C-alpha cells in the first residue's frame, strides 16, 4: 500500500511527526505532500530538519490569500499529486484549509481519507477552523478521535461507529519524542536570560483575536496587567502576522517581552519550564496540559474541553480584568491533573489501523 501524508502548517508537521516515524519504522511506502500554507523557511522546512523528519516529496507553495483562494490552490495541487501517485489513503491532521482541501480532493478521486484529531468542536461557526473540522470529518473514511468525548461528538453527528477509532492524541507522542530532541539542542532559556518557573509564556495568533483591533488591544492590556502584578518576565514570541497587525493598530504593550518566533524545539523548552502559559492556541492548551503547566486561554471557547475538565486550563476570554483573575486562580492551583490525551502511542495505533485494514 501507499500512504500520502498531507501537511500545511507547523502544528501539522509536529502532530504528524509520530505517524511519519512509525511509517519509517514499519517501512511502509509513503510520501509527504506539503501544501506550503506556512510558506517561510522558519515556519516549515526548518521543522522537518529539527525534528529529524524526511523532507516533503512535494511542496505546493500556495502561500497566503483569502480562504477561497488558498483552499482552491490546495485543492488543485493535491488533486494533481494524487492523480500521479495513486495512494490508497491520504492522512490529514487538524483543521486548516490544507486539511479540508486535501480531504475533499481525495474524496472526489475515491482515495480514502484518514482524519487525525477528528471530532473536535468549538461550536463557533465564525471560526474557519470549525468549518474545516466538520466538513473534513464528514468526508473521512477513518476518523482518529483523540478522546472518548471526541468519539461521542462524531457519533452524535451521525457518523458510523465503524469509521471511528479512539487513538489518543499524537501531540502526546510528539511532546514525549521531541522533548528529548529539544534538550539536545542547547539551552533556550539561557539565551533569553530566563530562569525556570520564573516567567510566563504567551502565544497569541488566531485571526479572531489579532485581526480585531479591539480584541487584540484588550488582550494585550490584560497581559500588561498580569506582567505588572507578578513582576516576572512575560515572554511573547510574536508571529509575523500578529506583529504586522500590532503595528497597523498602533499597539505597544509596555510590560511584555516581545521576541521573534522560535523553533518548535525551542518553544517546547520554553513551555516545559514556564510558570504559566497564556494562549489562544488549541495545540498549546494540549501541550501545557501534558507538560503539567497551568494554562489560561485567551478565547471565549475551546475545542479542547478536556483541559477544562481536568483543571489544567481556564477560559479567560479577552477582558483585561478576567485575564488577570484567571491567572491568579491558575497560579493558586496544584498541577496534579491527569493527562486526558492518551499514553503517547497514538501514532502506532493509527498506522496499525490503516495498514491492517488495507
208-254 pLDDT, tens digit per residue, is 999 999 999 999 999 999 999 999 999 999 988 899 999 999 999 99
149-169 pLDDT, tens digit per residue, is 999 999 999 999 999 999 999
- Higher-pLDDT residue of 45 and 95 is 95
> Model confidence at 38, in pLDDT bands (50, 70, 90)?
low
Q: What pLDDT score was predicted for residue 115? A: 98
Residue 40 has pLDDT above 80, yes or no: no
72-76, 107-111, 126-130, 214-218: range with lowest mean pLDDT: 126-130
Segment 245-273 shows an average pLDDT of: 94
Active site residue 138: no
Q: Which of 34, 38, 115, 205 is catalytic?
A: 205
Q: What pLDDT score was predicted for residue 48? A: 85
List the CATH code of the domain at 180-331. Answer: 3.40.50.2000
Q: Rg of the Cα trace of the chain? A: 20
Residue 262 has pLDDT above 80, yes or no: yes
Segment 173-185 shows an average pLDDT of: 87
Residue 42 has pLDDT above 70, yes or no: no
Q: What pLDDT score was predicted for residue 7? A: 93
> Model confidence at 325, in pLDDT bands (50, 70, 90)?
very high
62-66, 144-148, 207-211, 270-274: range with lowest mean pLDDT: 62-66
Domain ranges of the chain: 2-169+342-356, 180-331
272-284 pLDDT, tens digit per residue, is 999 999 999 999 9
Q: What pLDDT score was predicted for residue 271? A: 96
8-22, 43-57, 94-108, 202-216: range with lowest mean pLDDT: 43-57
Q: What pLDDT score was predicted for residue 130? A: 95
Residue 46 has pLDDT above 80, yes or no: no
Segment 260-285 shows an average pLDDT of: 93
List the CATH code of the domain at 2-169+342-356. Answer: 3.40.50.2000
| Average pLDDT of the residues of the chain | 94
Q: What pLDDT score was predicted for residue 53? A: 93
Residue 43 has pLDDT above 60, yes or no: no
Percentage, residues of the chain above pLDDT 70 = 97
Same fold, 2-169+342-356 and 180-331: yes
Segment 1-24 shows an average pLDDT of: 94
Percentage, residues of the chain above pLDDT 90 = 84
287-305 pLDDT, tens digit per residue, is 999 999 999 999 999 999 9
Amino acid at each position: 500500500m501507499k500512504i500520502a501524508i498531507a501537511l500545511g502548517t507547523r502544528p501539522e508537521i509536529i502532530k504528524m511527526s509520530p505517524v511519519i516515524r512509525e511509517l519509517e519504522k514499519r517501512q511502509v511506502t509513503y510520501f509527504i505532500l506539503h501544501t506550503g500554507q506556512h510558506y517561510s523557511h522558519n515556519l516549515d522546512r526548518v521543522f522537518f530538519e529539527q525534528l529529524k523528519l524526511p523532507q516533503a516529496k512535494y511542496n505546493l507553495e500556495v502561500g497566503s490569500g483569502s480562504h477561497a483562494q488558498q483552499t482552491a490552490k490546495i485543492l488543485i495541487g493535491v488533486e494533481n499529486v494524487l492523480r500521479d501517485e495513486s495512494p490508497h489513503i491520504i492522512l490529514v491532521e487538524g483543521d486548516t484549509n490544507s486539511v479540508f482541501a486535501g480531504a475533499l480532493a481525495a474524496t472526489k478521486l475515491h482515495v480514502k481519507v484518514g482524519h487525525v484529531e477528528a471530532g473536535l468542536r468549538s461550536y463557533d461557526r465564525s471560526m474557519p477552523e470549525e468549518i474545516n473540522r466538520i466538513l473534513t470529518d464528514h468526508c473521512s473514511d477513518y476518523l482518529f478521535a483523540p478522546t472518548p468525548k471526541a468519539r461521542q461528538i462524531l457519533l452524535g453527528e451521525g457518523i458510523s461507529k465503524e469509521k471511528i477509532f479512539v487513538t489518543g492524541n499524537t501531540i502526546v507522542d510528539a511532546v514525549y519524542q521531541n522533548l528529548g530532541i529539544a534538550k539536545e539542542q542547547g539551552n533556550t532559556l539561557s539565551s533569553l536570560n530566563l530562569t525556570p518557573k520564573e516567567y510566563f509564556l504567551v502565544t497569541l495568533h488566531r485571526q479572531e483575536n489579532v485581526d480585531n483591533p479591539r480584541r487584540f488591544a484588550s488582550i494585550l492590556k490584560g497581559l500588561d496587567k498580569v506582567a505588572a502584578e507578578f513582576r516576572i518576565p512575560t515572554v511573547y514570541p510574536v508571529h509575523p502576522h500578529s506583529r504586522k497587525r500590532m503595528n497597523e493598530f498602533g499597539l505597544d504593550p509596555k510590560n511584555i517581552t516581545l521576541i521573534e518566533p522560535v523553533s518548535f524545539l525551542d518553544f517546547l523548552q520554553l513551555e516545559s519550564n514556564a510558570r504559566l502559559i497564556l494562549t489562544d492556541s488549541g495545540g498549546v492548551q494540549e501541550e501545557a496540559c501534558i507538560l503539567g503547566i497551568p494554562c489560561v486561554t485567551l478565547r471565549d471557547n475551546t475545542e479542547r474541553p478536556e483541559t477544562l475538565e481536568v483543571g489544567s486550563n481556564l477560559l479567560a476570554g479577552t477582558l483585561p480584568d478576567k485575564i488577570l483573575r484567571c491567572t491568579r486562580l491558575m497560579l493558586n492551583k496544584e498541577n496534579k491533573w491527569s493527562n486526558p490525551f492518551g499514553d503517547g502511542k497514538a501514532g502506532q495505533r493509527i498506522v496499525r489501523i490503516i495498514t491492517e485494514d488495507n
